[in-house]
Structure 1
């Protein structure tokens, strides 16, 4: 099995394996507009020093090229910092842009719930209403796409897709090409009866949101998410471009350790939601998504408990590594993960790894991004680093499973 296939499988499994449920909700935390994203002035003291010490140890233990982080409590900065190098001789800085992957999936979930509140769509509307040519579109609903209960196969587990991606990492993928890999397999189960993560769900959700609103997805997310939240450094690109300054990425997915910064991310989610950001915007997003800032109280509650609890039972078509059982302490929400009281997203692909996590009961937000050194193991090392930070700041609420 190729390293890139292993990495993709691990990423899909990681999304499942890190799910845990939140048992509390609080009023939204509204933050003032962001100041420029810079490291906290030193020397660090108290919690700030503790967090940076944890990050330095994680960098050493995990063989990381760079660690960039921001922690806030009650909407106020605890610490912002950057360790290591972006590339040889270039120090990592807090304002460097990185690929944010599945963070945009949480944005799409919020937009869907906003549209439901506005009576422009219903969660249980069949997808065929907007995507009439989709096989099984009469059976699959918007809720099933957003909560990943559609039964669609995940194309990143298809060996033919992985081989094509490995052979041409700069290739521009279309939504039709990606979904075709998923549709080349039978459904894993009858839609709505089980849970399994599939990237295809969110490619299709993005297309459906465009049809519902008549607005291109990148503009829709800007109007409804990034604009209202003041995320000035979060934006979509339809090419592999990243706005300078850039946090460079490296990976051993294809066996040699190589730079992967500008590998084409068009396969990762819906076009219009293939975004870059920096660590301050990511921490801001953790607070906004985790507190339901852009949602009605009812939609916020629904975002955390869309009915996936009890699903995920392994079957012949859906093994335990794919259909991980959802529990009250471990489940998937509407475009987000709910884990031990934390609300999060944890992207990891092509040498980039990150996590944004929010603990409503303590109004605590943790955002971490990491890049890999030549001896680092593939996987979400940002999540591992955040686990250690959460253990120190909130020992009664571990972030890890």
Structure 2
């Protein structure tokens, strides 16, 4: 009996030591990132694993008014939106309304070579279709007309002005065009806007109270401001919270959320709550593998953490969930392109400390 009590006390004290160590190291690392990088006004960090929960808001949500970041601040999640869009697509596959093997010529007869591009190739970034947001025309328009409202059809036509990167399914190239097309497919097979389908199928069942599709200039909720370095020769940050109309991100990147909702969502995403076992397996047929990074159907795996990263004017983030350990990590900066230390890098450093 004494031996059992001793062992219980040993493991309890070891666990407390481990959690104390993580708490101090996480604070040290996140503080160091803020102190050496003035281009990061503030950050939100959440790491939840078993009984250990480390969540901190650091820096400023509003530089001019010196308003501190708060854990309930909303932010633009950028390309994490893709995981929502493709989760809805996979539900529709389960319902027999579309197949991953469908040629996109079924939905877009005017897209060149569409008879050789499948829906699956859109989802796993192997279609070869040009990424409209990499074009000079897009950059020029964003610079000169930041408040322009874009339609999905405009974005698709812009992409089609450029030749494909490669023949279908012969390589991998990340392209927002692919996910815009998936949003259009959702609309064609349901008769509803893709935003409404995401709300009905994901936001509402998971009771995500602080998550919205924005598709405009204004932020929603108790939001953090977003900043950018507009002049690379200056360290001055510009508040771009409502500067750009983000309709150009559409189904590829226009959702607004907070870390609490994203935590709930990541667990559902990582466990495949939304769709069948067949779709769960299909989602993890990796289209590309590079070291410990893999990319499948609108979702990555980094050291076993399933999710996505996101970057959109004013915000960058890394969001992942490990189904084997039931652990999640979210790192948000209220800035875009803050030097080399992106949220991905900070997340990797924290995960290394945590033993991943």
CA contact (8 A) 2:76 2:312 kept: no
**What 5-or-longer segments of structure 1 have no aligned partner?**
1-43, 310-325
CA contact (8 A) 2:215 2:245 kept: no
Deviation of 1:357 after TM superposition, in Å, equals 1.1
In 1, Cα distance between equivalents of 2:247 and 2:231: 18
Counterpart of 2:12 in structure 1 is: none
In 2, Cα distance between equivalents of 1:280 and 1:243: 15
Counterpart of 1:362 in structure 2 is: 325
TM-score by length of 1: 0.77
Counterpart of 1:61 in structure 2 is: 36
Counterpart of 2:278 in structure 1 is: 298
Change (3 A) 1:159 1:380: farther
1:381 equivalent to 2:342? Answer yes
In 2, Cα distance between equivalents of 1:223 and 1:342: 26
In 2, Cα distance between equivalents of 1:335 and 1:253: 30
Deviation of 1:202 after TM superposition, in Å, equals 0.6
Instruction: Render the CA deviation track for 1:77-112: whole Å, top value 9, x for unaligned.
Output: 612221111113111111111101111100112111
Deviation of 1:340 after TM superposition, in Å, equals 3.0
Instruction: Render the CA deviation track for 1:168-201: whole Å, top value 9, x for unaligned.
Output: 2222111122222211111222212221111100
Change (3 A) 1:226 1:268: same
Counterparts of 1:327-346 in structure 2, within 5 Å, are 327=290, 329-346=292-309
Counterpart of 1:16 in structure 2 is: none
In 1, Cα distance between equivalents of 2:290 and 2:59: 38
Counterpart of 2:60 in structure 1 is: 85
In 1, Cα distance between equivalents of 2:259 and 2:144: 31
In 1, Cα distance between equivalents of 2:191 and 2:200: 13
Counterpart of 2:269 in structure 1 is: 289
1:390 equivalent to 2:343? Answer no
1:228 equivalent to 2:228? Answer no
Change (3 A) 1:380 1:210: farther
| Structure with larger Rg | 2
Counterparts of 1:1-400 in structure 2, within 5 Å, are 45=20, 47-63=22-38, 64-74=40-50, 78-88=53-63, 89-255=66-232, 257-262=237-242, 263-270=244-251, 274-305=254-285, 308-309=287-288, 326-327=289-290, 329-372=292-335, 377-378=338-339, 381-394=342-355, 397=356
In 1, Cα distance between equivalents of 2:25 and 2:324: 21
Question: 3-state DSSP class of the match of 2:197?
Answer: helix
In 2, Cα distance between equivalents of 1:77 and 1:203: 38
- Range with greater deviation from structure 2 (55-64 or 112-121): 55-64
In 2, Cα distance between equivalents of 1:105 and 1:250: 23
CA contact (8 A) 1:352 1:369 kept: yes
Instruction: Render the CA deviation track for 1:323-375: whole Å, top value 9, x for unaligned.
Output: xxx358433211111233221211012121111012222221001111249xx
- Range with greater deviation from structure 2 (94-103 or 235-244): 235-244
Instruction: Render the CA deviation track for 1:227-272: whole Å, top value 9, x for unaligned.
Output: 122211111123222123111111114546311111221112338x
More helix by share: 2
Query: Runs ≥4 in structure 1, deviation > 6 angstroms?
Result: none
In 2, Cα distance between equivalents of 1:389 and 1:303: 26
- Range with greater deviation from structure 2 (221-230 or 47-56): 47-56
Aligned-residue Cα RMSD (Å) equals: 2.2
In 2, Cα distance between equivalents of 1:181 and 1:305: 30
CA contact (8 A) 1:101 1:269 kept: no
Deviation of 1:378 after TM superposition, in Å, equals 4.2
**What 5-or-longer segments of structure 2 have no aligned partner?**
1-18
Question: 3-state DSSP class of the match of 2:208?
Answer: coil
